[in-house]
């Protein structure tokens, strides 16, 4: 039985508390927030839950095995660092930290402490994303050529981060996860139409090893809400539409085959395949429940889907996107610290 403390009871914290409470391997002992009203609300929902205004009551509690951090990103580094130092496992909401420097330190600290550091990239716990990964890893799609994704809608504008840091973490996390890889370079163009200096539209192309391109469109300025990813492989192609409730993934048995030839002219002969489309039924479990259970599994030794490393790699990509946007699309190579392997 894992004893959990939760720091931050704002928008997302209560969801984490609810899910950990419902797991049979965990109990939530205590939660903290700077706002007494939020603590009272949590108390009314779960009368046996302890509450505190001071997160150090959680960090210093010897009964606590693991700490869940659901606070604004600026406090992530401090809270996670103190928690690891106190010998706790850490589940930290995304993005991992404000800067890549902080992220690198945190990952190293967790490694040294031998503790689990999990980042809340929830999409990698959805049935849809795991179906995409299965189709890629099993080889059913063939060699992956490229992916393109759109994550656009009207609003909600953030005041402290640009649209890339708001929306692209989902896509980068998903792409790294399903490709089991990480991009080597990025070219991106963006602009700030509404708030000076805060890009609200960005067009990004990532280059993964093996000549895999991944194009991302993120925008707070679009008439429609779109969350759509296309994956093109040499054998099959798929479209993953996260807005659709019942038909999230369509697999197209389509492709282009290069026909081998032995003549002297050496012209390419291409053959197009147009086959069936299939729409698999997906499991409808709550991804957050899977994620919380996975945190416990990781503490027991399982390999993490959204480790600190994963979260840090996302940060490094976002950082490189910012650099490329500042350089009008010039390709920026992404330098991963050696400690990441």
| Interface contacts to a copy of itself, rule CB under 8 A | 44, 145-146, 148, 154-155, 157, 159, 185, 187, 189, 191, 193-195, 201, 203, 205, 207, 211, 213, 215, 217, 219-224, 230, 232, 234, 237-239, 247, 250, 252-256, 258, 267-268, 270, 272, 274-281, 324, 328-331
Residue number, 31 or 206, with CB nearest to a copy of itself: 206
Residue at token pair 């504008």: 157
**Minimum distance from residue 150 beta carbon to a copy of itself (Å):** 9
Residue number, 4 or 325, with CB nearest to a copy of itself: 325
Residue number, 254 or 289, with CB nearest to a copy of itself: 254
227, 243 Cβ separation under 8 angstroms: yes
The CB density around residue 266, as the number of other CB atoms within 10 Å, is 7
The alpha-carbon radius of gyration of the chain (Å, integer) is 22
**Minimum distance from residue 285 beta carbon to a copy of itself (Å):** 14
Identify the helix (H) or strand (E) that includes residue 252: strand 249-259
**Minimum distance from residue 230 beta carbon to a copy of itself (Å):** 7
Residue number, 133 or 254, with CB nearest to a copy of itself: 254
Residue number, 105 or 235, with CB nearest to a copy of itself: 235
**Minimum distance from residue 234 beta carbon to a copy of itself (Å):** 8
Task: Report the DSSP beta bridge partners of residue 314.
Answer: none
CB neighbour list of residue 91: distance below 8 Å, 6 or more residues apart? 16, 66, 67, 68, 69, 118, 120, 292, 295
1, 25 Cβ separation under 8 angstroms: yes
Closest CA relative to residue 40, chosen from 28, 56, 52: 52
**Minimum distance from residue 182 beta carbon to a copy of itself (Å):** 18
Residue number, 3 or 244, with CB nearest to a copy of itself: 244
Residue number, 120 or 233, with CB nearest to a copy of itself: 233
List, edge to edge, every strand of the sheet that includes 249-259.
249-259, 237-241, 221-233, 144-154, 212-219, 201-208, 185-191, 332-333
**Minimum distance from residue 148 beta carbon to a copy of itself (Å):** 7
| Burial class of residue 317, CB neighbours in 10 A (0-12, 13-18, 19+) | buried
Integer Cα distance of 187 and 260 in angstroms: 34
**Minimum distance from residue 313 beta carbon to a copy of itself (Å):** 21
């Amino acid at each position: 039985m894992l004893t959990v403390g939760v720091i931050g009871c704002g928008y997302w914290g209560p969801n984490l508390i609810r899910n950990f409470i419902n797991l049979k391997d965990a109990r939530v002992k205590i939660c903290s927030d700077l706002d007494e009203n939020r603590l009272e609300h949590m108390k009314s929902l779960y009368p046996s839950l302890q509450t505190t205004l001071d997160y150090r009551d959680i960090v210093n509690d010897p009964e606590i095995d693991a700490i869940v951090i659901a606070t604004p990103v600026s406090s992530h580094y401090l809270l996670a660092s103190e928690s690891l130092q106190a010998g706790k496992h850490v589940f930290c909401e995304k993005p991992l930290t404000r800067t890549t420097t902080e992220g690198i330190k945190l990952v190293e600290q967790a490694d040294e402490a031998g503790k689990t550091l999990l980042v809340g990239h929830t999409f990698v716990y959805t049935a849809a994303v795991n179906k995409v990964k299965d189709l890629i890893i099993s080889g059913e799609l063939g060699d992956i050529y490229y992916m393109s994704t759109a994550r656009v809608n009207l609003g909600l504008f953030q005041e402290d981060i640009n649209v890339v840091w708001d929306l692209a973490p989902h896509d980068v996390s998903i792409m790294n996860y399903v490709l089991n890889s990480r991009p080597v370079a990025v070219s991106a163009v963006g602009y700030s139409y509404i708030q000076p200096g805060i890009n609200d539209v960005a067009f990004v192309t990532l280059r993964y090893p093996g000549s895999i391109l991944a194009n991302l469109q993120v925008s707070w300025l679009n008439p429609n809400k779109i969350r759509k990813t296309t994956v093109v492989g040499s054998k099959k192609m798929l479209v993953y539409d996260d807005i659709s409730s019942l038909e999230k993934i369509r697999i197209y048995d389509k492709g282009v085959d290069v026909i081998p030839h032995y003549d002297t002219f050496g012209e390419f002969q291409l053959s197009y395949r147009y086959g069936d489309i299939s729409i698999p039924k997906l499991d409808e479990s709550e991804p957050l429940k899977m994620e919380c259970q996975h945190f416990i599994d990781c503490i027991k030794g399982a390999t993490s889907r959204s480790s600190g490393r994963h979260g840090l790699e996302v940060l490094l990509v976002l950082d490189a996107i910012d650099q490329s946007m500042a350089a009008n699309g010039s390709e920026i190579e992404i330098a991963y610290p050696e400690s990441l392997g």
